[in-house]
Amino acid sequence: MKVLLVEDDPAIAGSVTTSLSNAGMTVHHCATGADAIAAVKEFAPEVILMDLGLPDMDGLDVSKSIREFSSVPIIIVSARGDELDRVLGLELGADDYVVKPFSQRELLARIKAVTRRGHETQQPVIASTSTRIVVDERTHSATLDGEEVVLTAKEFDLLAFLSSEPGVVFRRNDILEHVWDTNWYGTTKTLDAHIASIRKKLGNPDWIQSVRGVGFKFVEVPQ
């Protein structure tokens, strides 16, 4: 597992690097946003840990720049819980977040969760039974009326899961367990942010409908 760690605090960078290296991961460390963007191209990480407060750029702007050319999973690392609304509100395509101080166990679990891809689990090749939306697990791509919908890894997994059975209501906890492989506190906000982002990308909120107090269901929208 290749991890790009974007962190300007040498103490945090040192302890995270040690811990991830001990877990068998290869860590590439950058202390600025500009270096991070260059490193995504050169190092080709499988996951990025992104600090928000960087000396040259805001971590969210760095993430947005990376999203323009890469769908690599991004975990936002924030020092303050009140920054999370800003993170989630921007719908920038981050896959998850952790709040400092975090335990190494939590960090490893998050990395494992966001990098777990659909093709590693026993899922059908073509998950969706929708006629307008085609979700292809082999190529990890989704199309709407033949046009590609650019999704992050977790948005893809979420859409693949919900669209596998149109009309069926999936409970929040079941979605979290299946798509994120976790039940972390706060992840339910991540779920809402991902649903909002997918709805926006599909151009119509009706594709994924909220069922109050239960969860969400995928509904085929007529053309």
Binding residues (CB under 5 A) for Ca ion: these are 8, 51, 53
Least distance from Ca ion to the Cβ atom of residue 188, Å: 27
Query: Given the complex with Ca ion, which of 79 and 126 has the nearer CB atom?
Result: 79
> Of all residues in this chain, which one has the CB nearest to Ca ion in the complex?
53
Least distance from Ca ion to the Cβ atom of residue 54, Å: 6
Strands, sheet with 47-51, edge to edge from the N-terminal-most edge strand: 26-30, 2-6, 47-51, 74-78, 96-99
Give the CA-trace dihedral at 184, 186, 133, 67, to 10 degrees: -100
Give the CA-trace dihedral at 153, 36, 61, 102, to 10 degrees: 70
Least distance from Ca ion to the Cβ atom of residue 76, Å: 12
Query: Given the complex with Ca ion, which of 53 and 166 has the nearer CB atom?
Result: 53
Query: Given the complex with Ca ion, which of 84 and 221 has the nearer CB atom?
Result: 84
Least distance from Ca ion to the Cβ atom of residue 8, Å: 5
Contact between 100 and 78 (Cβ < 8 Å): yes
Query: Given the complex with Ca ion, which of 59 and 118 has the nearer CB atom?
Result: 59
Query: Given the complex with Ca ion, which of 8 and 46 has the nearer CB atom?
Result: 8
Contact between 132 and 220 (Cβ < 8 Å): yes
Least distance from Ca ion to the Cβ atom of residue 118, Å: 33
DSSP, collapsed to helix, strand or coil, labels residue 27 as strand
- How would DSSP label each residue in 39-50? HHHHH--SEEEE
Query: Given the complex with Ca ion, which of 4 and 135 has the nearer CB atom?
Result: 4
Beta pairing, strands 141-144 & 133-136: antiparallel
Q: Determine whether 151 is exposed, middle or buried from the number of CB atoms within 10 Å of its CB (0-12, 13-18, 19+).
A: buried
Task: Choose among 11, 13, 61: nearest CA to 33.
Answer: 61
Least distance from Ca ion to the Cβ atom of residue 100, Å: 9
